[in-house]
Chain A
Amino acid sequence: MKLLRAWLFVIPVLVLSVTGAFSHHAFSPVYDEKRLITVVGVVTQFRFVNPHAMMFMDVTDESSKVVKWTVEFAGRLNLSNVGWTADSIKSGERVTVTGNPTHTGSDRMFFRKLVRADGTELLPAGPQRLNAIEEERRQRALQRDQRK
């Protein structure tokens, strides 16, 4: 397991809101929302289901040992709002996935970002929504300043 960790990039992050992304139960009992990790591997299965979509992948560590990783997503209900389908991720694809690790440090994470071999990215709904809200805030601040 120590060798495998060489493949991980652990990044402390600000507390991220996951309200809405994780709706059928709370996020906090399983995942550490204050940290991010990244793994590189080959997708073995993507299940576009409710309440949470799941991806399984093989990650090869530095000693050539294959470790089975599980990536948990928001539900199909949530992902389809931003255009995801059952074919968004295909078995056999080599991908780089970033997400929140579990509290126990097991081979599992909660999805934040996926980068395909060609550099294209898949993101959850959260960033799109946040961008729209930040634009709303900019407009709001502009109107407030104009009233002065």
Chain B
Amino acid sequence: MAVRNIVKWRSGLLVLILLTWITVPAEAQSSRRNLEGMWSDPPPTAVGAFCAFACTDAGIDRLNALLDDPANDARPFEQLQAEAKTYEREYIRARLTPAALKTYPLDPADDPGFLRCEPWGLARQMFAPHQIEIRQRGNDRIELRYGEWDARRTIYMDDRKRPANQGPNRMGHSAGRWDGETLVVETSGIAANIAVWTDLNGTAEHSDQLRVTERYTRSKDGDTLLLTATMADPWSLREPVVMKKIWRWAPDQKITPYKDCERPTEFKRGVKR
């Protein structure tokens, strides 16, 4: 009797899975397969290195202009990259409100991730170096897992709203949808924290009014994943800012434990790079 019940239960589950699969549009199934899996640090290219954290089109254009100028051929790449990052920091400065400019760029020595091993909020985590693993969980959500801090996010794909009694939190509430082959994620309810605009030397405070629209697209050759993120926060930004990031397809990589963060025993404030 028990065996017959298990067979019936299994058959029912199989029918349920098949029905659910059939009801998901073919386009969405293709999109999921397109992005799912492990991605990691960008290819060792000039733009890949420049966007190791996050970058802007303005910064990339500046880098390319420096690389294309024959007068710079003998200069080390690191110098050109630093020059383009300085330009990018000023590009961001022009878009920050007086409130955010009071502390921009934040002193890295005051970073709570450094001082107290506090995991990052969304506005830094989404641009974290190293791995990002994308996994479909059932039909109503996608999980993003990051190598840095072993952080996890849930993207709800069923139009559910943020619960009214849920205040702002570190990762916010993310709702996703497919736009063709692109995964679009809208996030709000993010607690005030630190945003990374260029790298860890170009960070600024943001408020809990921050709203982020992420668009994840796989390249035609399948080797890279591109994130285009539009950041809007009336407290810290005069206008929305579009940030970019690149990952490389890395199916052989694994996310390893992240539990040995130590608080610094010595440091110096105000060191300029």
Q: A106 and B266: CB pair below 8 A? A: yes
B236 within 8 A of A: no
A49 surroundings in chain B (CB, below 8 A) = 257, 259-260
B148 surroundings in chain A (CB, below 8 A) = 23-24, 51, 77
Q: How far is the CA of A136 from the CA of B264 in the complex (A)?
A: 38
Binds A, one of B37-45, B164-172, B225-233: B37-45
B77 smallest CB distance to A (angstroms): 5
Q: B44 and A104: CB pair below 8 A? A: no
CB-CB contacts below 8 Å: A72-129 with B: 75-78, 80-81, 102-104, 106, 108, 128-129
Mask: chain B, 254-273; 1 = CB below 8 Å from A; 0 = not: 00111111001011110111
B108 within 8 A of A: yes
Q: How far is the CA of A75 from the CA of B65 in the complex (A)?
A: 32
A137 within 8 A of B: yes
Q: How far is the CA of A141 from the CA of B69 in the complex (A)?
A: 9
Q: Which residue on A lies nearest to B77, using beta carbons?
A: A133
A23 surroundings in chain B (CB, below 8 A) = 52-53, 128-130, 148, 200
Given A24-B113, A141-B73, verify A17-B266 contact (CB < 8 Å).
no
A75 surroundings in chain B (CB, below 8 A) = 130
CB-CB contacts below 8 Å: B100-149 with A: 107-109, 111, 113-114, 128-131, 147-149
* Chain B interface bracket (under 10, 10 to 19, 20 to 34, 35 or more): 35 or more
CB-CB contacts below 8 Å: B27-65 with A: 40-41, 44-46, 49, 52-53
B49 surroundings in chain A (CB, below 8 A) = 17, 19-20, 129, 133
Q: B45 and A17: CB pair below 8 A? A: no
A89 smallest CB distance to B (angstroms): 16
Binding site for B on A (CB under 8 A): 14-17, 19-20, 22-26, 28-30, 33, 47, 49-52, 75-78, 80-81, 102-104, 106, 108, 128-130, 132-134, 136-137, 140-141, 144
Q: Ordered nearest first, which 5 A-B pairs have the shortest CB separation?
A: A26-B108, A25-B114, A29-B109, A132-B44, A29-B267
23 A-B pairs with C-beta separation under 8 A: A19-B52, A22-B200, A23-B200, A24-B114, A24-B261, A26-B114, A28-B272, A29-B108, A29-B109, A33-B273, A51-B148, A77-B131, A77-B148, A80-B253, A81-B41, A102-B266, A103-B266, A129-B44, A130-B77, A132-B44, A134-B77, A136-B46, A141-B70
